[in-house]
Amino acid sequence: MTFYEEVGGAETFDRLVHAFYVGVAADPELRALYPEEDLAPAERRLRMFLEQYFGGPNAYSQERGHPRLRMRHAPFPVTLDMRDRWMRHMLAAMETLDLPEAHAEAMRDYFMRAAHMLVNTDETPPPAGTGAPSSSPVGPEGRPTL
Ligand code: HEM
């Protein structure tokens, strides 16, 4: 069984992404970054991407090509604040699924890493000026250094 099947297949990803976009729609600052008036196409793209990433059908790549997520996010200023908003809505959406803890943790880990990787603005994370300790895996721009 793939991870995709283990967590409940299409229905699970449908519920997850739908709950996530309900959160985005209710968050004016994050919502302002989404170019389209209708969030349904964005919801569909994220759903197809996540299904593919977690071992389901590869409709995303058939329709959109290689994911290249960092490049696709380049037009949007993904600040630390926006990343945190995005994560908050995704974690809340995850809660609605009630998955076995090991599966939930694997998904949260992925979202955490991907969201860090997508930050594309030069900011020093607060508190200003202190920087990250040298042993921190997070660089001065709030992105993992790996
Ligand atoms: C785990 C992290 C994330 C994943 C897996 C993800 C995934 C995606 C995918 C698959 C798309 C559609 C790309 C396409 O085919 O054109 C997309 C679009 C977008 N993402 Fe993300 N994203 C993540 C984090 C973020 C964050 C942190 C922001 C912060 C603002 C963000 C903002 C957007 C916006 C504004 C779009 C354009 C909407 C659209 O037209 O699809 N994303 N993202």
Ligand 1 neighbour 46 (Cβ under 6 A): yes
Ligand 1 neighbour 143 (Cβ under 6 A): no
Sequence ranges of the domains in the chain: 3-117
The tens-digit pLDDT sequence of the chain (146 residues) is 999 999 999 999 999 999 999 999 999 999 999 999 999 999 999 999 999 999 999 999 999 999 999 999 999 999 999 999 999 999 999 999 999 999 999 999 999 999 999 999 988 766 665 655 544 445 555 554 43
Distance 6 CA to ligand 1 centre (A): 24
**Rounded Cα–Cα distance for residues 68 and 117 (Å):** 12
Q: Could you tell me which CATH number the domain at 3-117 has? A: 1.10.490.10
Q: Which of 106, 119, 127 is nearest to 55 (CA)?
A: 106
What's the pTM value of the predicted model, to 2 decimals?
Answer: 0.86
Taking a C-beta distance cutoff of 8 angstroms, is the pair 107, 29 a contact? no
Asked if residue 127 has a cis previous peptide bond (ω within 30° of 0), the answer is yes
Distance 146 CA to ligand 1 centre (A): 21
